[in-house]
Chain A
Amino acid sequence: MPLIQFKNITKTYGTGENPFPALKGLNLTIDEGEFLALMGPSGSGKSTTMNIAACLDTVTSGTYLFQNVAVDKLNTHQRTLLRRNFLGFIFQGFNLLPRSSALENVELPLIYRGDNKQQRRSAAHQALEKVGLSDWKDHNPNELSGGQQQRVAIARAIVTSPKILLADEPTGNLDSQTSLEIMSLLTSLNRDSGVTIIMVTHEKEMAGYASRVVQFLDGQIRN
């Protein structure tokens, strides 16, 4: 069963005199359990696609179905709930709260979901354990290496047990050794926990971990 279906999606930034079409009729179907890599030159619309998939942004035209639900018909509140319950997101720049410990960062999505303190603590500990950072839970991001920060971000993304993990250039800021560690973490999440992963990357080596690679070019998928 397809988890995500993009049907003829366009996204145009800006209005009036110089509208910029970032996506020009994108068609893509992603099945549950896939590990998909999105590649392509800079500016070809990969991040735009990720943001739409993450319900952070809306399409200009076309249809986005998530588990056969038309996301475009949902309001902001419903899209937040969908994101909160089914989607995890990791960014190139980690995007952790700087003055909160690793544990607090991982707990944050659960706070908004309304879990009680006990549930939050144990779920956050488990997630940190999965990414191998149990010993670093009380450290703030500025006391952690880039790789460790990205692992905190992964823990934060998976703590809600999402169906799908969206990773926009997760290794873009990391050295190759650390990148490989992150990739093996993502692979094991995909293989052992059955999390569907969509990852944007520029590096062939990283894309090699994926079960399918999709090439973007100029707002469309290159056949």
Chain B
Amino acid sequence: MYPAQFEYEKAGSVSDAIDALSSNPEAELIAGGHSLLPTMKSGLADPDMLVDIGDVDELHGIDHGDGSTRIGAMVRYADVADDDTLREEAEVFAETAHQIGDFQVRNRGTVGGNIAHADPASDLPGAVLAADATMHVAGPDGERTVDADDFFHGMYATDVGEDELLTAVEVPHEGTAGAYAKKPNPASGYALVGVAVRLTMDGDTVTDARIGANGVMDHGTRLPDAEDAIEGTSLSADSIEAASDAAGSTLDEYMVMEDQQASAEFRLQLLGAYTERALAQAGERAGVL
């Protein structure tokens, strides 16, 4: 379908963008446009004005720091997926970016847009949680940071306010190995279920596990029971199975997503299977399995 009419403005800087948002409550940022344009075309969104942040320099670039890497909000998935250094620093993040959509989507979609949009079936939220990333948010009152665990509030809802924008994601260089196991929806390619894992190992022993799941609840969610089950164990097929069995145990089945492709019951079934696959792959990459 055709979107309703709208104005279009190009922001030159972050403060430009904030001004535009503050002066017009009906304005929306546009980054890669790969979520916003489809919603406008289907009539689900009709912003008066689009503020294009594509040319804002401050939002571009991947900076590899000492203990963490800062990824600008406008960085495209393809650049993340192709960054070999980042793959060593934060494997789960790079690996997840690699599994988003197809070539076209990876060449257009942005890290900031994905995280700020917070589609429950998107791939990056799980990686943000597993990687323990920090979000940088700018608004009329200046800059602030938000921890991954506090960032996602619900379906399409995050900690970013109406006149704020996400400027960057900071990913710590932690963990021994990471993996992302995704069951794509055969129609859209989004995650029916996706499980992102970051394991920190001491020999065979898992000293820390962070597991983030997409597609299951109304927003990206940690799987604390699976994490608890695997932490402190020596990684093996058995411990992985135990953790996978625990994956959905504290999730409220009534809140689990349901659609044409998968009922809540089946999603939980997939969650277990994909937790198992993600853990096994991370274990393999850590050289343990």
Physical interaction between A and B: no
